[in-house]
Structure 1
Amino acid sequence: MKSSNPVLGRITAAAQQPTYTVAGGPAPTYSYAGRTYQQPDAGYGYPETVQAPRDVMTIDDVVVKTVSLIGAAAAAAAATWILVPPPAMGVVWIAAMLIGLVLGLVISFAQVTNPAVLFAYAIVEGVFLGAVSKAFETRWNGIVAQAVIATLGVFLVMAALYKARIVRATPKFMKVVIGAAAGLGVVMLINLVISLFTGSAGPLRDGGGIAIVFSLVCIVVAALMFVVTFQQIEDGIAAGLPRKYGWLGAFGILVELVWLYLEILRLISYFQED
């Protein structure tokens, strides 16, 4: 959406004094002694209006917001790793997971753009990631570094594929990927509820063949969700959406990074079982 607010007004003629005005055409005119004359057009062209700056989404602003949320999550994860004693990790893990789930659903469905709420979500997710990562690292030394490197690698590859338009976010592509992500989310939620009541991870998370295939599917869908979010951010910028909506793009990238990291962490752990 473009603004048509002109910032160059016309300058009217004063009697017996030559003055100049932008006439809105290809060349300026000047008035003298009540008569109007047109300057020869030298081919430069003169715009009728100048677009006034607006408080709209930009790619740079979305990048800053994304880095800010990721930084807050990383700081919270590091603090949890260092400060929370091992006996309390399980409680912190479950509490942060449930709070993050509820907060994430509220942000998604209500389209919350309040920075305070989004930073609160990032911090809760950071606490969850810190507890999970410490538990995995305690059992499998070096697994967290592998998962972090793999997550960043997948993200950079998807960003490069999107930028080169090798992977295109067509309407059909976005519908299929979003539907697949929603379906996986429902399946994981059901599996989580069952595991909380039974104390068993179930076939989707027990490290067996089904669990490996399920994690691979989740990794592929999480990677493709980056393309969907990139396209949504690009569409928002093209539509001139208000700057605050950049927070939703940053939120989407954070959610996908967390999901991708957790699935890669699980997948690596399956192959390190004794």
Structure 2
Amino acid sequence: MRSSNPVFSRRGIGQGGQAGFNAGPQAGNPYAQGAPAANPYANNPYAQPQPGTAGFPPAAPPQSDRMTMENVVSKTAITLGTVVAAAAVAWILNLGMGIAIVGALVAMGLGLWQSFKREPSPGIILGYAVAEGIFLGAMSNFVNKWAPGAAMQAVIGTMAVFAAVLFLYRTGIIQVNRRFMRFAIAAGIGYAVLSLVNLGFALFGAGDGMGFRTGWVGILMGIAGVCIAALFLALDFKQVEDGIAYGAPAKESWLAAFGLTVTLAWIYFEFLRLAWILNSD
């Protein structure tokens, strides 16, 4: 099974019978704690040769070429920092909703482009961060005018969800396995379909669409969106853990940062809409 995260699914992480579920790290890897398993990076076009394989010496590759938690944290800080900086500029310049929509479309295009590339591109990822930041900053400024404090509430809510999911994941309360992945994918697809249907009705003159974004139904949809995004955040943590355990190339740190940024932006936007609904009623 391919990973639910498009950032990692093209690299084999989380595929059945390989990394992710019921498999041990690659033999010779400094993180190895169990029986040897197939390396999901063996067919990666820029993967490092694995020790002990035919034609290669048994010495382990230099650790500077491997993905580490420090690399992931630093790249995530850069990517999220770019989002925040672009959002601040959009807020200060009081950019309109037209610019926000353009930013959203550009972010979506760059995100899909990176998801289908075979190698990470820091330029595309940072470009996505700028476009996403412009969208979120302009949208936050607009919502905050009608619901004062909504932006800060969304920030606090996003930080709280991140901390809670990280704690639950690290303590083992959340077990990311195949069943968890399938449930998250099904929930995400269902949520996306409902959102698109609601948007379609709204665009074609049905006012607020099917009512999924207003009143108590909108509140329930917003809560569901946050919960589903939290599931994907746990999947992101799993992908990072697998990447480090299996000796992913250092470049993959950019993809880890990209995946985390996409999910956190989703959570923030859901909280922003919730704050808008709650402060408007």
TM norm. shorter chain > 0.5: yes
Distance 1:112 1:191 in 2: 35
Matched, 1:237 2:237: no
Offset at residue 103 of structure 1 (A): 1.9
Offset at residue 76 of structure 1 (A): 0.2
Residue in structure 1 matched with residue 110 of structure 2 by the alignment:
103
Matched, 1:51 2:60: yes
The C-alpha deviation readout for 1:4-25, integer Å capped at 9, x for no partner, is 38xxxxxxxxxxxxxxxxxxxx
Using a 3 Å threshold, how does the CA distance of structure 1 residues 220 and 206 change in structure 2: closer, same or farther?
A: closer
Using a 3 Å threshold, how does the CA distance of structure 1 residues 204 and 110 change in structure 2: closer, same or farther?
A: farther
Give yes or no for contact 1:207–1:270 (8 Å, CA) kept in 2. yes
Calculate the TM-score normalised by the size of structure 2: 0.75
Give yes or no for contact 2:154–2:268 (8 Å, CA) kept in 1. yes
The C-alpha deviation readout for 1:231-267, integer Å capped at 9, x for no partner, is 1111111111111112221111111111111111111
Give yes or no for contact 1:106–1:112 (8 Å, CA) kept in 2. no
**Amino acid paired to 2:78:** S
- The number of equivalent residue pairs is 229
Residue in structure 1 matched with residue 176 of structure 2 by the alignment:
169
Match among 184, 199, 203 for residue 196 of structure 1: 203
Residue in structure 2 matched with residue 66 of structure 1 by the alignment:
76
Offset at residue 56 of structure 1 (A): 1.3
Give yes or no for contact 2:213–2:221 (8 Å, CA) kept in 1. no
Using a 3 Å threshold, how does the CA distance of structure 1 residues 239 and 176 change in structure 2: closer, same or farther?
A: same
Distance 1:241 1:264 in 2: 33
**Structure 1 segment 177-256 matched on structure 2, within 5 A:** 177-198=184-205, 200-256=207-263
Alignment RMSD = 2.1
Give yes or no for contact 1:111–1:248 (8 Å, CA) kept in 2. no
Shifted more, 66-75 versus 201-210: the winner is 201-210
Offset at residue 223 of structure 1 (A): 0.9
The C-alpha deviation readout for 1:87-134, integer Å capped at 9, x for no partner, is xx1111111111112222222233551000000000000000001000
Matched, 1:4 2:51: yes
Distance 1:110 1:197 in 2: 34
Distance 2:129 2:211 in 1: 27
**Amino acid paired to 2:60:** Q
**Amino acid paired to 1:218:** G
Using a 3 Å threshold, how does the CA distance of structure 1 residues 111 and 52 change in structure 2: closer, same or farther?
A: closer
Using a 3 Å threshold, how does the CA distance of structure 1 residues 177 and 111 change in structure 2: closer, same or farther?
A: farther
**Amino acid paired to 2:62:** P
Calculate the TM-score normalised by the size of structure 1: 0.77
The C-alpha deviation readout for 1:201-252, integer Å capped at 9, x for no partner, is 3234442222121111111011111111101111111111111112221111
Q: What SS does structure 2 have at the residue aligned with 1:110?
A: coil
Q: Mind listing any 5+ residue stretches in structure 1 that lack a counterpart?
A: 6-48
**Amino acid paired to 2:165:** M
Identity %: 37
Distance 2:111 2:75 in 1: 17
**Amino acid paired to 1:4:** P
Residue in structure 2 matched with residue 76 of structure 1 by the alignment:
86
Q: Mind listing any 5+ residue stretches in structure 2 that lack a counterpart?
A: 1-25, 29-49, 53-57
Residue in structure 1 matched with residue 149 of structure 2 by the alignment:
142
Offset at residue 68 of structure 1 (A): 0.7
Give yes or no for contact 1:204–1:210 (8 Å, CA) kept in 2. yes
Give yes or no for contact 1:72–1:123 (8 Å, CA) kept in 2. yes
- Which is richer in strand? 1
Give yes or no for contact 2:107–2:128 (8 Å, CA) kept in 1. yes
Match among 246, 264, 268 for residue 261 of structure 1: 268
Q: What SS does structure 1 have at the residue aligned with 2:243?
A: helix
The C-alpha deviation readout for 1:151-208, integer Å capped at 9, x for no partner, is 1011011111111111110111012112322332233234334433437332344422
